[in-house]
Amino acid sequence: MLSHAHHLLETIFGHRGFRGEQAEIVRHVAEGNDALVLMPTGGGKSLCYQLPALLRDGVAIVVSPLIALMQDQVDALRQLGVRAACLNSTLDAAAAQSVERDLLAGDLDLLYVAPERLLTARFLSLLDRAPLALFAIDEAHCVSQWGHDFRPEYRELTILHERWPQVPRIALTATADPPTQREIAERLQLEDARRFVSSFDRPNIRYTVVQKENARRQLLDFLEPRRGEAGIVYCLSRRKVEETAEFLAGHGIDAVPYHAGMDPALRLANQHRFLRGEGVVVVATIAFGMGIDKPDVRFVAHIDLPKSIEGYYQETGRAGRDGEPAEAWMCYGLGDLVLLRQMIEQSESGPERKRLEHRKLDALVGYCETMRCRRQVLLDNFGETLPKACGNCDNCLSPPESWDGTEAARKALSCVYRTGQRFGAAHLIDVLRGADTERIHQFGHDQLAVYGVGADLDARSWRGVFRQLVALGLLEVDAEGHGGLRLSEAARPVLRGEQPVLLRKESLRKGRRERGDGR
């Protein structure tokens, strides 16, 4: 069987050998067994069901959540001479009928179908009459209610197993933190399936995190030496996507926006330009990317903090799928943290969900603030241990220096306290540095003992201090209100001078003037 698989791999897909565990997965599924495959983005998941689909009699039904991605996959397969088709809401009745005829006649190797379509009584009864090779459930993490791509219909996919117990199933995902892994197995009734867990390390991706000063400017500095390279810039909001794309275009960068609120035709056109063009930068919300198969994405930049490590890893995983060096660059500041805390707190979610989201955010902040090898921290999160520091992240390449921030921390905490525990970092920094602003006069903050006591540090360093105090849990964000900072219980020993505080030195930025609101 494997020699036949290998033959197909070469003649149809044009690859010389299998990657990682592909061969074993293909054999396992082709022999009629269930599998749960956890492989990082770009690892080569598609072949794990496409080859068994060709090796087994009948048609493979591939459940996939995104219509755009389905069409791309089907087009690519057809070009290779594989009999593939998809069924989704974009087909007109005649086209859908013709696909159904092919299905029943056994003239298809693979049929991609959206979950909501699959679950219709009509389609299920069609499947009763079709020769089935296997079921593949792509992006299987969509079954997880805690994930960022939750699709309720995925929960109902157990019907496949109940109705056709003899047909093998393979579920695939690039999201593999252990709780999600367990949830997938449980929800899809794949507890007994063999698990194939690849290493999630992407050694060719270099990870970097910088303190946010003036995000656009910093982004432009980052992009400048990378002109002509394709990349993705992620932003939190649609408005920011538009503004950033415009800003970059204004500086001669071939940048296009992408978000869910755009005119669908324009959005698709932008996606195609990115996929087919050279050196196009797509500025996007996280709506962009699931299943985007572009091997030569050279960088993924985040100018806003994502919501979790899993999300971050999946987004950055779109870089360097060809194995060539690539960059994951993030620019983050206290403002991001405040904003995300507020978004969580002010959302409709219940208290349990909110707690979970805060915890996920904590983990991501831990990653941003770490002085350890970033890759080690990332992989830790996926339950994987990297024995040695990677040598290919900012912390490995230029180890961060720490400094004794005890005195600065006391000044900062005391400034928070004296001003009534309701202001944001920008104002607090003005007070510490003895600035002459209207706000300071309005509140009489120039009369406080802390006024001007922090003139020895520049605003940028103070932003680093406040950000780290929040990250360390010494300060809390008033996320239900205006995002002001207040002391936590843990701040007391520091204020009393009983506990030293070690802070990370903000690495020096290259050139460019000092401006920005610390966000």
Tell me whether strands 231-234 and 281-284 are parallel, antiparallel or unpaired.
parallel
Q: Answer with the entry of Zn ion, ligand ADP, none that 316 interacts with (C-beta below 5 to 8 A by kind).
A: none
- In the list Zn ion, ligand ADP, none, the entry touching 293 (Cβ below 5 to 8 angstroms by class) is ligand ADP
Q: With CB cut-offs between 5 and 8 Å by kind, which of Zn ion, ligand ADP, none does residue 344 bind? A: none
**Size, binding site for ligand ADP by CB under 6 A:** 15
Dump strand ranges (E) for 198-298: 205-211, 231-234, 255-258, 281-284
Min dist. Cβ of residue 467 to Zn ion (A):
21
Please state the φ and ψ torsions of residue 30, each to the nearest 5 degrees: -60, -30
* 258 touches 287 (CB < 8 A): yes
Give one DSSP letter per residue of 379-393, joined into a string: HHHTT---SS--S-B
- Tell which residue, 192, 140, 163, has the closest CA to residue 34: 192
The interface partner of residue 373, options being Zn ion, ligand ADP, none and the CB cut-off 5 to 8 Å by kind, is Zn ion
Pick from 390, 435, 457, 474 the residue near Zn ion by CB under 5 A. Answer: 390
Binder of ligand ADP out of 212, 267, 321, 341 (CB under 6 A): 321
Quick check: helix, strand or coil at residue 53? helix
Q: Which residue matches tokens 């219940």?
A: 350
Q: Smallest distance from the beta carbon of 41 to ligand ADP, in angstroms?
A: 4
Binding-site member from 32, 277, 295, 383 for ligand ADP (CB under 6 A): 295
| DSSP classification of residue 508 | P
The CA distance from 413 to 473, in Å, is: 12
Q: Cβ 45 to ligand ADP, closest distance in Å?
A: 3
Among 56, 375, 467, 504, binds Zn ion (CB under 5 A): 375
Residue 467 binding partner per list Zn ion, ligand ADP, none, with a CB distance cut-off of 5 to 8 Å that depends on partner kind: none
The span from the CA of 341 to the CA of 335, in Å, is: 10
Residue 393 binds Zn ion (CB under 5 A): yes
* Binding at 44: pick from Zn ion, ligand ADP, none (beta carbon under 5-8 Å per type): ligand ADP
Identify which range of 15-23, 215-223, 449-457, 482-490 contacts ligand ADP by CB under 6 A. 15-23
How is residue 404 written in tokens?
Answer: 């004794």
**Of 14-22, 119-127, 223-231, 394-402: span binding ligand ADP (CB under 6 A):** 14-22
| Cα 314 from Cα 290, distance rounded (Å) | 9
- Burial of residue 201, with CB atoms counted within 10 A of its CB: 0-12 exposed, 13-18 middle, 19 or more buried: middle
From residue 274 to residue 293, the character string flagging contacts with ligand ADP as x (rule: CB under 6 A) and all else as - is -------------------x
- Across 86-108, b (16+ Cβ under 10 Å) vs e yields bbbeebeeeebeebbebbeeeeb
Say how far apart CA 301 and CA 303 lie, in whole Å. 6
Q: Which of residues 54 and 373 has its CB atom nearest to Zn ion in the complex?
A: 373
Give 488's contacts (C-beta < 8 A, 6+ positions apart): 473, 474, 475, 476
Q: Which residue is nearest to Zn ion (CB)?
A: 373
Q: How far is the CB of 325 from ligand ADP (least distance, A)?
A: 16
Nearest residue to ligand ADP, by Cβ distance, number only: 44
User: What does 47 interact with, of ligand ADP, Zn ion, none (CB < 5 to 8 A by kind)?
Assistant: ligand ADP
Cβ 201 to Zn ion, closest distance in Å?
A: 11
136 sits in which H/E element: strand 132-137
Residue list 182-211, contact with ligand ADP (CB under 6 A): none
User: Least Å distance between CB 316 and Zn ion?
Assistant: 14
In the list Zn ion, ligand ADP, none, the entry touching 393 (Cβ below 5 to 8 angstroms by class) is Zn ion
Of the CA atoms within 13 Å of residue 54, those in its CB half-sphere come to: 23
Question: Using CB under 6 A as the criterion, what x/- string covers residues 131-170 for binding ligand ADP?
Answer: ----------------------------------------
Stretch that binds Zn ion, among 106-114, 117-125, 253-261, 375-383 (CB under 5 A): 375-383
Of 196 and 367, nearer to Zn ion (C-beta) is 367
Selected range binding Zn ion among 18-26, 273-281, 392-400, 491-499, rule: CB under 5 A: 392-400
Query: Which C-beta is closer to ligand ADP: that of 18 or that of 332?
Result: 18
Cβ pair 191, 16 in contact under 8 A: no
| CB 367 within 8 Å of CB 339 | no
Q: Which does 43 bind (CB under 5 to 8 A by kind): Zn ion, ligand ADP, none?
A: ligand ADP
Near ligand ADP in 20-59, by CB under 6 A? 22, 39, 41-47
Is residue 131 within 8 A of residue 105, CB to CB? The reply is no
Q: Name the residue nearer to Zn ion (CB basis): 181 or 208.
A: 208
Rounded to an integer, what distance in angstroms lies between the CA atom of residue 339 and that of residue 474? 18
Task: Using alpha carbons, select from 111, 59, 121, 60 the residue that is nearest to residue 88.
Answer: 111
The least distance separating ligand ADP from the CB of residue 171, rounded to whole angstroms, comes to: 13
**Spatial distance between the Cα atoms of 163 and 184, rounded to a whole number of angstroms:** 19
Contacts with ligand ADP, residue ranges (CB under 6 A)? 15, 18-19, 22, 39, 41-47, 293, 295, 321
Contacts with Zn ion, residue ranges (CB under 5 A)? 373, 375, 389-390, 393, 396
